[in-house]
Amino acid sequence: MASSAVELPVAERPRWRVGVIDSCGLLHDAIASARFVADETRIVTREPTSDPTGHGTRLCALLTRGNPGVELVLAQVFDPAGRTSAATVAAAVDWGVEQGAHLLHLSLGLAADRQCLAAAIARATERGLLVVAAVPARGPLPFPAAYPAVIRGTGDARCQPGELSRLDELTFGGCPASGRKGGGASSGAMQVTRALTLASAPCSNVQALRVLAATANYHGRERRGIAAE
């Protein structure tokens, strides 16, 4: 893991290896991919299939379009009905670490805390990996976004494509691309990952937060419903 963010032209920077944990398992330019499925009492890996929902494919396209500094590692964790589990996501996180990812991106959130997922995220962040996870605009934080050291991404209607907002120390917003499946918090979170990989070489969590804060076009949450005096 690089010790500092390197200010070099994009073409000369070390490439980010991004593990996308989602529904996408088959892209010709991915350097590794696997499908994770529950098999009785354990999670096993299988050959990936085509994207059952299209969600992950759209997010990968958003990340890689005009962004030559990214290598993809794809972990397919959703079944054809769009369901997953904490144990499945945890296995994919550990696999992403094994594949040498610098950053794990999860445009997903689970309502309940589970020890297996908490432990997997802790192992990843202790190894120096960045984790970016989606959060909804309202409501309680889902998991893994609620865990320590996870960078949170969401949709922010103020942001045009390529713009970011800094909502608080750990939460950043991006263009939600509303009106499309896979938009909202999912797209906003991927805009955060994209902005980081465009602005910096692989770096630490602290440095990533500084880069994102410096990149942000808006600071603080949008103020709504305030009448003029």
Give the residue extent of every domain in the chain.
14-219
- Dihedral (Cα; 84, 54, 133, 71), 10-degree rounding: 110
Sequence length of the chain is 229
CA 82, CA 89: separation in Å to the nearest integer? Answer: 13
Predicted confidence (pLDDT) at residue 75 exceeds the cutoff of 50 = yes
Q: pLDDT tens digit string along 100-152?
A: 999 999 999 999 999 999 999 999 999 999 999 999 988 899 999 999 999 99
Give me the pLDDT at residue 190, please: 97
**Mean of pLDDT values over 167-180:** 84
2 pLDDT more than 80 = no
Alpha carbon distance 73, 32 (integer Å): 5
Residue 41's pLDDT is: 82
pLDDT of residue 12: 67
Please say if the pLDDT value at position 222 is more than 70: yes
State the average pLDDT over residues 37-58: 91
Contacts of residue 20, defined as CB under 8 A and 6 or more positions apart, other chains included, come to: 56, 59, 60, 63, 72, 73, 74, 75, 105
Give residue 7's pLDDT.
Answer: 54
pLDDT value, residue 157: 93
Band (70; pLDDT cuts 50, 70, 90): very high
Mean pLDDT, range 149-164, rounded to an integer? 95
To the nearest whole number, what is the mean pLDDT of the chain? 90
Cis amide prior to 14 (ω within 30 degrees): no
Instruction: Specify whether domain 14-219 bears CATH 3.40.50.150.
Output: no
Binning pLDDT at 50, 70 and 90, where does residue 28 land? confident
Average pLDDT over residues 93-104: 98
HSE on the CB side for 156, CA within 13 Å?
30
* Rounded-to-integer distance, Cα 59 and Cα 198, Å: 16
The CA distances from residue 104 to 1, 38, 65, 193, in Å, are 14, 21, 18, 9
What pLDDT, in 10s, does the model give residues 189-220? 999 999 999 999 999 999 999 999 999 999 99
Q: If pLDDT is split at 50, 70 and 90, which confidence band does 5 have? A: very low
Q: Are 107 and 134 in contact (CB under 8 A)?
A: yes
Q: How confident is the model at residue 25 (pLDDT cuts 50, 70, 90)?
A: confident
pTM score above 0.85: yes
